[in-house]
Amino acid sequence: MMLFPAKIPRKINYPSSWECISRNQSVQKKLIDILNEFGPTMYGEYLLRVGPFSQQLTWDKHSLRKELNILSDIPLNPGNTSGYVCTSDYHSLAVQEHGIDAILALHALDFSSDPHTQLREFDRVLRSDGYLIISGFNPTSLSGLANLLPWFKHSPLKSARYFSALRVKDWLSLLNFEVIHTEYLAGHNLLAKNQKSKVLGRFESLSFLRSMYVIIARKRETPLNLVASKFAKIKPRLRPAAAHLNTASRR
């Protein structure tokens, strides 16, 4: 499979709400069910929600005390907003280093012109052992195929990047993230409004053909230990020159 460059010069518009996704209510419900399995294990002070999809997802079964929403523009319809809302560039987050305990970034990479920089920003603001939750569109799914067709050119999802889960996990491994869970969902075409239920049932059973995936990872930091040199125990056979000078002067 041919890989296209991750960084592109043009800017991509992030959709403003879940309404652009077909059957978005069932998709959100499945996402919440997946997150609820790991939410009770997430402890700390701050949960960072990046983008409108993350902001509007009604998920509160976690042990984090406060929430911070990062958006590129002030929302006209805030929806189910909880916590603080601030505007910032997604590639340069207005958050201090190591100040976040968990990040919820739903489809943030799909609408990023430079996903490598965005992942490095997540790594910068996330504390050690913090959680990173990423969702993306599967390029080998019905939605990935529909994205190549001209029939859905007016859909906001047409501009999505469709990075594969394997590629995203490879990027995370380079940043020393440990992927603890990966799951595929949404076995239908996210771009089409009307779809037959019989066809959907067949694709629901094939995980690699589902239109979305969720990756839950933890930031790992290994401390650097000093290793003693193997020559440290060997005593020098020659004395320093200063010692010879002191002995000669006494004589």
Domain extents in the chain: 18-250
Instruction: Tell me what the mean pLDDT of segment 109-134 comes to.
Output: 95
**Which tens digits make up the pLDDT trace of 63-121?**
999 999 999 876 655 555 667 888 889 999 989 999 999 999 999 999 999 999 999 99
- Residues 169-214: pLDDT tens digits? 999 999 999 999 999 998 888 988 776 555 555 556 677 789 999 9
Q: Is pLDDT at 242 greater than 80 in this prediction?
A: no
pTM recorded for the entire structure: 0.83
Mean predicted lDDT score pLDDT of the chain:
84
The two tokens of residue 170 are 């490879």
Percentage of the residues of the chain whose pLDDT score is greater than 70: 79
Q: What is the CATH number of domain 18-250?
A: 3.40.50.150
Residue 230: the pLDDT is 60
Contact (Cβ atoms closer than 8 angstroms) between residue 67 and residue 94: no
What integer pLDDT is reported at residue 144 of this predicted model? Answer: 87
Give the span between the Cα atoms of 115 and 120, in whole angstroms. Answer: 9
Give the model's pLDDT for residue 145. 86
Q: Examine the pLDDT at 148 and tell me if it is beyond 60.
A: yes
Q: Phi, psi at residue 202, to the nearest 5°?
A: -70, -40
Per-residue pLDDT at 236 exceeds 60: no
Helices (H) and strands (E) in the chain, counts: 7, 7
Instruction: Please tell me which residue, 165 or 74, carries the higher pLDDT value.
Output: 165
List pLDDT tens digits, range 39-57. 999 999 999 999 999 999 9
Lowest-confidence pick of 122-126, 199-203, 218-222: 199-203
Q: Give the model's pLDDT for residue 33.
A: 96
Residue with the two structure tokens 């990479």: 109
Measured at the CA of 155, the angle between CA 151 and CA 156, to 5 degrees, comes to 150
Confidence of residue 31 (pLDDT cuts 50, 70, 90): very high
Sign of the CA dihedral running 83, 85, 90, 95? negative
Starting at the edge strand found earlier in the chain, the sheet holding 126-137 runs 84-87, 63-71, 43-50, 100-106, 126-137, 212-219, 177-185
CB 51 within 8 A of CB 90: yes
pLDDT at 81: 60
pLDDT tier, 10 (very low <50, low <70, confident <90, very high otherwise): confident
pLDDT at residue 57, rounded to an integer: 95
- 18: tokens are 């879940």
DSSP state letters, 145-168: HHHTSGGGTTSGGGG-----HHHH
